[in-house]
Chains A and B, each alone.
Chain A
Amino acid sequence: DAGVIQSPRHEVTEMGQEVTLRCKPISGHNSLFWYRQTMMRGLELLIYFNNNVPIDDSGMPEDRFSAKMPNASFSTLKIQPSEPRDSAVYFCASRGWTGITYGYTFGSGTRLTVV
């Protein structure tokens, strides 16, 4: 398995534009998490899904953020409209059987810059 795949790796956009981040979890993993990492706030959980159903979205900053998981192999995080304070690294992680135990696998993250 190629691991958790996130795209794009880097995104630069102008304030006010819509941004969509994408994530493909590991096949067979039934939980998916979106985290945001900034210098000031560290790693914050935005939302997570179990079996494609959103379980906890209390970390979503505001209505400008939305996340979907239409099927077990794909999730998106959308920001509309984007603002400079949204600049951060966004990580997707999935949880499931790793072959040895149940564990988390993180993607390489998307670095978002809003100018």
Chain B
Amino acid sequence: AQTVTQSQPEMSVQEAETVTLSCTYDTSESDYYLFWYKQPPSRQMILVIRQEAYKQQNATENRFSVNFQKAAKSFSLKISDSQLGDAAMYFCAYRRIQGAQKLVFGQGTRLTINP
């Protein structure tokens, strides 16, 4: 079974600084998707970024980028120029390409932005 591990329950960063959230996963599949979701206090789950495992290029969405290391099964999220609105729980998630469509989530990292 696939598992996703986020080893940092909490992180904090100064506004305008850069922070990196860690995620590792375990799978025997060669092709899959990886995601980062943001959950603000409103509880809404918001997709931040998505990475296809067959793509070597790291995904980027504005201030958000990932460092995808397939051999190491590592998928970290970098947030540049942190803003107060970035404060939230962040979840790393995995999904197989073939077969089951379910998302497998990590435990989450609570990110605090200090003004």
Binding site for B on A (CB under 8 A): 31, 33, 42-43, 45, 48, 50, 55-56, 89, 91, 93, 95, 103-104, 106, 108-109, 111
The 12 listed contacts between A and B (C-beta, < 8 Å) are A31-B101, A42-B91, A42-B107, A43-B91, A55-B100, A56-B102, A91-B45, A103-B47, A106-B44, A106-B45, A108-B43, A108-B44
Shortest CB distance B77–A (Å): 17
Binding site for A on B (CB under 8 A): 42-45, 47, 50, 91, 100-108
Pick the contact of A50: B47, B91, B101 (CB < 8 A).
B101
- How many Å lie between the Cα of A33 and that of B50 in the bound state? 19
Shortest CB distance A82–B (Å): 21
Shortest CB distance B82–A (Å): 24
Shortest CB distance B32–A (Å): 15
Q: Which of A31, A45, A50 has the most CB of B within 10 A?
A: A45
Q: Is the CB of A45 within 8 A of B44?
A: no
Q: Is the CB of B102 within 8 A of A33?
A: yes
